[in-house]
Chains A and B, each alone.
Chain A
């Protein structure tokens, strides 16, 4: 019994040595997923506690970085599962067909530009883009942020978020379409384009 406690202590010491070097990266991931520093601190804290409890199940300790990222991402998804953060995204067929590229081309809001689409994007203050990102429902934002930050494959995302690869594909597609639509709505609000356009 004494030996069991001693080996648990050794494992815990090993966890600290392997896991703590990932703290700064996990915090930045948490900020990118939540947008709020206090929430990010709580998430990182919770991630380490869950990680410690499950450390014995980690078969490849050299992969602890990705393993901890997955724990953190699942906490974000689980935290809001079934809550009102799952906001509806409207008509999916219409959303899937939405094309910011085509709308910019049709509306031509910068007639003297020789790089219309690039110059259109340059109009947006950073905080508007961040607000649009954070307004994405978790089911869409989490895989997109993991793709951008952790450079995960679709298969890795599917394993991390415990859903089929097809679901990951459609969520990544729709996350980007929702962002395109949000930028267009923002352009209308700010008067970059006429309000009556779709």
Chain B
């Protein structure tokens, strides 16, 4: 297992947050984080920014007419 530099560790942050890292790349990052407070802070900010963005995705209640529109279209498609 290789020791990562901070700049190498940073490139793995998003994969780590997305649970896409496994095996040696994950072990290397976790070993680096265990010894580097600065990278821990940076990773915490990336996590915070993800949550911040996710909480601000556009949202809107479902229009009451949408289900009827889809049902009608499906019914019309059946007849053709």
Give A residues with C-beta under 8 Å from B.
9, 12, 15-16, 20, 23-24, 27-28, 31-32, 35, 37, 40-41, 44-45, 48-49, 52-53, 99-101, 117-118, 121, 126, 129-130, 133-134, 145, 147-149, 153-154, 169, 172-173, 176, 179-180
B70 (CB) vs chain A CBs: closest residue: A48
Cross-interface CB contact of B58 among A23, A24, A130, A154, cutoff 8 Å = A130
Give B residues with C-beta under 8 Å from A.
10-11, 14-15, 18-20, 41-42, 45-46, 48-50, 52-54, 56-60, 62-63, 66-67, 69-71, 73-74, 77-78
Total residue contacts A-B, CB cutoff 8 A = 101
CA distance in complex: A28, B63 (Å) = 11
A176 B66 Cβ-Cβ under 8 A: no
Show 13 residue pairs from A and B whose CB-CB distance is below 8 angstroms, ordered by the A residue.
Answer: A12-B78, A16-B71, A27-B66, A31-B58, A37-B60, A37-B63, A40-B60, A45-B73, A52-B77, A121-B49, A129-B52, A149-B57, A169-B20
A135 vs chain B, min Cβ distance (A) = 12
Given contacts A20-B67, A27-B66, A48-B70, are A35 and B48 in contact (CB under 8 A)? no
CA distance in complex: A37, B10 (Å) = 37
B45 A117 Cβ-Cβ under 8 A: yes
Chain B hits for A20, CB < 8 A: 67, 70-71
CA distance in complex: A41, B66 (Å) = 7
A148 (CB) vs chain B CBs: closest residue: B54
Cross-interface CB contact of A172 among B18, B52, B53, B78, cutoff 8 Å = B18
